[in-house]
Amino acid sequence: MNYNKYQAGVGLMEVLVALLLLAIGVLGYVALQLRAIDASSEALTKSQGILILRGLAENIRANGAGQANYATAVRGYTSITATPTAPTPSCFNPSTLCTPAQMANYDAYNAAKSAFEIGMKITMAECPGVSSAPVKRQCLYAAWDNTTITATSSAADVSQCMSSNGIYVNTARCLMMEAY
């Protein structure tokens, strides 16, 4: 065998370069997987929020006589910091006859409790961007992570979620659904 002293160790350098390229590829794949996990988690959170808001919207439609009570009832649960206490009477019991207003409060409690259990806050306010409509439409909101929504009995602040003309704020973690 006739070795050239200038080529000694070249094979080792080729292996090191190949390993470096492989490591960069693996790191890229890991970053892609982490992003996919984040996207899946966000999709799950949105799906859960949609289910809660859709259920509440259907309850509002089913309780036509109590529709006017829902906004105040839902806003009453917006700022909770612990699992809310069930209202009395419990409208879940078939033997209990609830008024439409009591049913609105019970529906709001169930939605707020479900939202709180997965780290969300919910509220209800006039839909943005429809101030000229003859009938003010009501929208349900769900927010999570760093997006904050607040409410009093008469109004809700969803400015971290969307602008007054109905455009979502960039990086906001929230949903909006028209209720009626």
Does residue 121 form part of some domain?
A: yes
pLDDT category of residue 4 using cuts at 50, 70 and 90? low
pLDDT category of residue 2 using cuts at 50, 70 and 90? low
Region 36-58 average pLDDT: 95
**pLDDT tens sequence across 76-88:** 999 999 998 888 8
Query: How far apart are alpha carbons 135 and 82 in whole angstroms?
Result: 35
pLDDT confidence of residue 132: 63
Query: What does the angle CA 136 – CA 86 – CA 174 come to, to the nearest 5 degrees?
Result: 45
**Contact assessment for residue 170 and residue 158, using Cβ atoms and an 8 Å cutoff:** no
Query: How far apart are alpha carbons 82 and 53 in whole angstroms?
Result: 20
Confidence check: pLDDT of 49 > 60: yes
Instruction: Give me the torsion for CA of 177, 178, 179, 180, rounded to 10°.
Output: -170
Region 158-176 average pLDDT: 91
pLDDT category of residue 11 using cuts at 50, 70 and 90? confident
Residues 6+ apart with CB under 8 A from 127: 136, 137, 138, 139, 166, 176, 178
Does residue 2 form part of some domain?
A: no
Closest CA to 28 of 36, 38, 17: 36
Does residue 30 form part of some domain?
A: no
Does residue 173 form part of some domain?
A: yes
Residue 143, phi then psi, degrees to nearest 5: -135, 150
Confidence check: pLDDT of 134 > 80: no
In terms of residue numbers, what domain contains 62?
50-179
Which position has the token pair 């002293």?
5
Does residue 14 form part of some domain?
A: no
Does residue 6 form part of some domain?
A: no
| Domain total of the chain | 1
Region 142-147 average pLDDT: 95
Confidence check: pLDDT of 112 > 80: yes
Averaged pLDDT of the chain: 89
Instruction: Indicate if the alpha-carbon torsion angle 12, 15, 17, 23 is positive or negative.
Output: negative
Does residue 133 form part of some domain?
A: yes
Does residue 97 form part of some domain?
A: yes
Q: Which span out of 2-11, 64-73, 121-130, 147-156 was modeled with the highest average pLDDT? A: 64-73
